[in-house]
Structure 1
Amino acid sequence: MASLASVDVTEPLVPAAVAGLLTGLSLIVAIGAQNAFVLRQGIRREHVLPVVLVCAGADALLVTAGVAGLGRLVSEHPDVLAAARWGGAAFLLAYGVLAALRAGRPATLEPADAGPASLRAVLAAALGFTFLNPHVYLDTVVLLGSLAQQHGPGGGTVAFGAGAVTASVLWFGALGFGAARLAGVFARPAAWRVLDGTVAVLMVGLAVSLVL
């Protein structure tokens, strides 16, 4: 009896967890504002661990909320997403302008050039890129929350959510700490000009898309 119960309960958890992992990766790997910010911090080697922990932790919180059923509540209150849309657009536009200004005066990997950013400022930006982006709520709370429910109540739903959370941890860790391998390329100011110019276009484009 114990053996049969074990098979019935645990066997569906593995495919559910794998489905959550692959779905989470497919949503998070796409280039966006949050990923661009983590990449830049990783290349600069500034507060990389706190940034990775904040981004992965925030995703874990939102995925957990979606699995718990918050997605349905968010869907029924579009004014919440509307407020996040306008706030996110303003935030992304401001960061895009700053990136454009940096592109005009490219940085290097030497902290002495402009001074390293403070931990408080970096974490505030990381939280802004996470919680002021309505796409984050749609992906984590609404979409992943809805997909988790398709794996049945109880263990399957939890396993799917755990897989999605694992995807966030793996991705942000790889992006933040793996970016240091690009340090040789970004030892040249011209590389920073290209990166910050690209970030500026990305941020402004995302801001416009949110408004429209």
Structure 2
Amino acid sequence: MADTSSVVVAGLLTGLSLIVAIGAQNVFVLRQGLRREHVGTVILVCALSDTVLIVAGVAGMGALITGVPALVTAARWGGAAFLAAYGLLAARRAVSGGRLDVDDRGARTSTWVVVSTALALTWLNPHVYLDTVLLLGSVGSSYGGSRWLFALGAVTASWGWFAALGYGSRLLRPVLARPAAWRAVDAGIALVMFSVAYALVRGA
């Protein structure tokens, strides 16, 4: 059996290498962190979702998913449609001149809307399954009896990353207080969403 600490570190580093990549989850957490709006709730939803998916992958759910091609295809198209719609909303904000309200006096988004969006960006995005259930699950299974230590490392990476992204993003608020900068953020969010959606459709 592999050394305990080395397996946990392997899970931590592997998890970070997949989670840190720019994606739908990350840009949403970043945006909420910049707005200081339901940040803790968004972090909790994303990290808990990742935990469930990582555990499912290490437990062998990845093999089950790949065994049903129709399910994978449906998930790709459904996820692409949702991401494209979210990208259009971000593009509209970029064009109309949405901005960051530094004084927190702007209109607030309800907790329900934020939670449902975070859940949708996680569970309707097939890339999340690819990273957590399939890739992390496959790597974790290679550790045999130590696979749950690997899962522990990957889960720790997820919680740590989302917390750092959500609460650390507020350091950028002075820069993004300018309307032009905030429009650039929304334009970037739209670009990421459209790119992921295109990648999903291309692979369907």
- TM-score bracket relative to the smaller structure: over 0.9
Q: Find out whether 1:206 has 2:184 as its counterpart.
A: no
After TM superposition, give the deviation of residue 112 of structure 1 in Å: 3.8
Q: Find out whether 1:145 has 2:137 as its counterpart.
A: yes
Q: Report the more deviating stretch, 93-102 or 79-88.
A: 79-88
In structure 1, distance between residues paired with 2:84 and 2:134: 25
Q: Contact between 2:99 and 2:177, CA under 8 Å: does it hold in 1? A: no
Name the structure 2 match of 1:124. 116
In structure 2, distance between residues paired with 1:77 and 1:174: 36
After TM superposition, the score normalised by the length of structure 2 is: 0.94
Q: Report the more deviating stretch, 52-61 or 183-192.
A: 183-192
Output the amino acid matched with 1:76. Answer: G
Name the structure 2 match of 1:29. 20
In structure 2, distance between residues paired with 1:208 and 1:152: 36
Deviations 1:57-112 (A, max 9, x none): 00000000011111110111122221111111111111111001111222222444
Deviations 1:101-142 (A, max 9, x none): 1112222224444x1111101111101111111111111111
Q: Report the more deviating stretch, 156-165 or 79-88.
A: 79-88
Name the structure 1 match of 2:86. 95
| Correspondences of 1:31-110 after superposition (within 5 Å) | 31-104=22-95, 105-109=97-101, 110=103
Q: Report the more deviating stretch, 181-190 or 45-54.
A: 181-190
In structure 1, distance between residues paired with 2:147 and 2:80: 33
After TM superposition, give the deviation of residue 19 of structure 1 in Å: 0.4
Output the amino acid matched with 2:3. Answer: P
Q: Where has structure 1 moved over 3 Å in runs of 4 or more?
A: 110-113
Name the structure 2 match of 1:3. none
In structure 2, distance between residues paired with 1:34 and 1:55: 7
Q: Find out whether 1:177 has 2:167 as its counterpart.
A: yes
Q: Report the more deviating stretch, 144-153 or 49-58.
A: 144-153
After TM superposition, give the deviation of residue 16 of structure 1 in Å: 0.8
RMSD over aligned CA atoms reads: 1.2
**Percent of aligned positions with the same letter in both sequences?**
55
After TM superposition, the score normalised by the length of structure 1 is: 0.91
Q: Indicate the SS of the match to 2:184.
A: helix
**Count of aligned pairs:** 200
Flag structure 1 segments of 5+ consecutive residues without an equivalent.
1-8
Larger Rg: 1
Output the amino acid matched with 1:117. Answer: T
In structure 2, distance between residues paired with 1:209 and 1:189: 30
